[in-house]
Amino acid sequence: MSRIHMIRHGRPASTWGDADLDPGLDAVGAEQARAVAEALLALPAPERPTRVVSSPLRRCRETAQPLADALGVALEIDARVGEIPTPTALAPDDRPAWLRQAFEGRWSEIRGDLDYGAWTRDVAQGVASHPGAAVFSHFVALNAAVSVATGGEQVAAFRPDHVSVTVFDLVDSGLILVEKGREASTQVL
């Protein structure tokens, strides 16, 4: 058995539909990144991450970097734990409405140009391929990993807050949910 911590990125400098398609963190998000690094470093040695993995997107990389620096390890990038792919025909301005609709249903009901059930399994395999790691990712990807671990079908099974830490154990190459991270108290993502 091996423990994996999956962390949602800190608060970004802009949100859905803004001009910046790959925002970094705002000042609050940067402080959240430092705080989550401290919290993970304070875990008992057998539970403490020894690797740091991130989605390719800037908000995740910036959230992950303080932990990587503190551990003295290179930040590993894994696109499998990245943001949910937007359908290719969808304009960037239409992504927020598409996501809101997706959040109301099941993985199999998401309209788009790929099999989103298969995408959830790819996310879970990506997470599972990093035993002992802190994996910095996104709201939807966290829900994908939890769905695979629990057999759930709802896209928004829980609402992980910024820098929320969800804990999995890796058993026989599969994710076992130990604890969902702190949930957001508002509807704002």
Q: If DSSP codes are grouped into helix, strand and coil, which group holds residue 137?
A: strand
| Number of other residues whose CB lies within 10 A of the CB of residue 51 | 18
Q: Please give the average per-residue pLDDT across 94-120, as a whole number.
A: 93
Tokens of 112: 């788009």
Nearest to 82 by CA among 127, 35, 38: 127
Which token pair is 152?
């759930």
How much is the pLDDT for 126? 97
What percentage of the chain has pLDDT greater than the value 70?
95
Does residue 44 have a pLDDT over 90? yes
Strands 2-8 and 133-137, how do they pair?
Answer: parallel
pTM of the model: 0.94
Residues 59, 23 contacting (CB under 8 angstroms)? yes
Collapsed DSSP state (helix, strand, coil) of residue 92: helix
- Is 187's pLDDT higher than 60? no
Query: Any idea what the Cα angle at residue 147 is, between residues 51 and 2, rounded to 5°?
Result: 30
Indicate the average pLDDT of the chain. 93
Question: How does pLDDT run across 45-94, given as a tens digit for each residue?
Answer: 999 999 999 999 999 999 999 999 999 999 999 999 999 998 999 988 88
- What pLDDT sits at residue 20? 62
pLDDT tens by residue, 120-161: 999 999 999 999 999 999 999 999 999 999 999 999 989 999
Over pLDDT 90: what percentage of the chain? 84
State the sign of the Cα–Cα–Cα–Cα dihedral 61, 62, 68, 74.
positive
* Distance of alpha carbon 94 from alpha carbon 8, whole angstroms: 23
pLDDT score at 95: 86
108, 153 contact by CB (below 8 A): yes
Q: Provide the pLDDT for residue 186.
A: 65
3-state helix, strand, coil in the chain (%, to 5): 40, 20, 40
Least confident window among 67-81, 86-100, 105-119, 162-176: 86-100
DSSP 87: P
pLDDT at 128: 98
